[in-house]
Structure 1
Amino acid sequence: MNRHNLHISINTMATKILIENRKAIGLEVIKNNRKVQVYANKEVILSGGAINSPVLLMLSGVGPKDHLHNLGIPVVADLPVGNNLQDHMMFPMKYNINSSISMNTQTFQAQIPKVQYALFKTGIYSGSGLEGDLMDKIPNRDPSEPDYPDYQMILYTVAQDEGFLDYGLDMNIKPEVTKLLKTRAKNNEFTHTLVGLHPKSRGTIRLQSTDPFDPPLIDPYYLENPYDIKVMIAAIRKSQQIMNTKVFKQLDGTLVRQDFSGICDKVNFDTDEYWECFIRYFTVTIYHPVSTCRMGAITDPSAVVDPELRVKGILNLRVADASVMRNEPSGNTNAPCIMIGEKAADLIRGNDTVFDFRKQIAKLKL
């Protein structure tokens, strides 16, 4: 915060990249309800994320020509900004158990665990409730597919009881459906959260208007590609396989069914059609949007930035965030975003800060 070359402007909204003769020269921002222009000595680096970076580029005339024309925005560069949106989705499989080992609203509200953590940094507050992660591939997968895991299973000991459904992770479920789910919520349960890692469905980010304060039009096209359903069903079958093991049988792990009148109650239980209905009904984002300003070769028609993160056709403008990823990674996006920031800094400064590390691992078989 005390660096002489770092200035943080609060209460400020970037509304436009200033571009002259296909060269980025600064930003237009709204600060404390006043329009201000800020100029760059060298480069403008955009790190707005997979939603806001394409929005700011399109507001500045960098984006799909037809979309910009429809809004009356002069086209500076016709690029596929806002295309190729990918995101991880999650689907919960809840199980009741015969043991009181779950974290639940009652245990979180008790005083002893709070005192235990305050004094000894142990107990339920010393963890997240995430007990394990499993990465796996679907059976009979296409051998031409890259050799990466197709889905992730996150094992939580946190019970999705009434308190969780009211105040826990916002699953964007209608209140009337939440009311139904509460009728089957227990204190002693745990969850397998299933995540499709490499969706084939592709969405878009578009401007709603030329007003930078209007939220963008986000159409993720979730589950449009049948492959994404296939992956989630394979993850469900793996969850069932785990529940059939000796350890979980001892806990009497029993699936908490979520089929109610009008909700997937017309299809036969445990068929692929049954689970597809639930996937389409209850699957929600895990907030990992990527690839809306995709990186690629200059000749790649799907790319917005080149391999050095420079916006194609615009001088002195780079993007450094999740939007430049080619595709969704096999896991969370936080660490890859940090890597992108570190790599961008090296590219801008012309440094190779990982040379010694690469030298150390050169002989390893990765």
Structure 2
Amino acid sequence: MKKDFYEILGIDKSASPEQIKKAYRKKAIEYHPDKNPGDKEAEEKFKLAAEAYEVLSDPDKKARYDQYGHAAFDGAGGFGGGGHMNMDDIFSQFGDIFGSAFGGGFGGFSGGFGGGGGQRRMKGSNLRIKVKLTLEEIANGVEKKVKVKRKVQAQGVTYKTCPTCNGSGQVTKVTNTILGRMQTSSPCHTCSGSGQIIDGKPSNADAQGMIMEDETVSIKIPAGVVDGMQLKVAGKGNDAPGGNSVPGDLIVAIEEVEHEKLKREGENLHYDLYISFPEAALGTSKDIDTVNGKVRIKLEEGIQSGKILRLKGKGIPSLNNYGSGDLLVHVNVWTPKTLNKEQKQFFEKMLEDEHFVPKPEKSDKSFFEKVKDMFS
């Protein structure tokens, strides 16, 4: 079971953005690879703190996490608000938060940054797409195949060691001050910290050795997503130049297509059912649209307009796997707007008939009671 993000950072849900940032910086410094060389447990805590901060520092992600927990970012295909972050992601995104605590470098994690600020492992830019989903697809989960135009490294591109930084990815500057000689390091401006520059490239590649390619990406979208939610497909963004680079991510924004008859409210669905006077008086059976096909319901004779019928479990599944919402059928008795002479005469005769005089029972709830029940 995944550990709570607030617990990881040692804060509560009411923490301000500044408190969240301060708590993360404290954890990041405590478990930084430079302070804990070779300590796998510290490395894991360092990654967990970064994952927690990535979500809680983003107002949209934080709101979704507060509502749905880890399920808001779970799903097949590499989705997540964090969870898939590696050291390169962390230093690339959040290095400025704690970098000054380590002499301005990017830390000493092997395989990417090097002790005292070595090569930066470049990460490509993210791509963003919007995927439209019907209520039926949202209710059942779906796999979508989308065509994405990505920047990828061209075949035949070769690299050589950057002559400016000699492959270190960093340039060092020594300044004489009244306090003595001070040494500072910064990413190499020639290679952007990668330690490599292009040695040769094919004619169809751009200055960075990249070409545009179309790729079909399969996206598995879990049931219960909501409009505006963003999912992440790791590694399906643009490539970055350099032999030691990693691709960016594909950010998938969910857009819910409005259903013709069903209206969504969280995990519940609403359906307006219109019936005639005769159907209300005599009772009837009706076919109702659901996200899994039609179901037939029976209306008892004498049913009143405003009656709400609840079909348990016929709504949208919960992202937290807590079951599904309900389908609320709102019964509306349709009043005819035009009547012929014979029909008018019939209703005129019924004006004083005891069977047509309203006699609400205690069990017949008022409009305000029904609204209260809906929100309780």
TM-score interval (norm. to shorter): under 0.3
Q: What TM-score results when the alignment is normalised by the length of structure 1? A: 0.23
More strand by share: 2
Q: With a CA cutoff of 8 Å and minimum separation of 6, indicate the structure with the bigger relative contact order.
A: 1
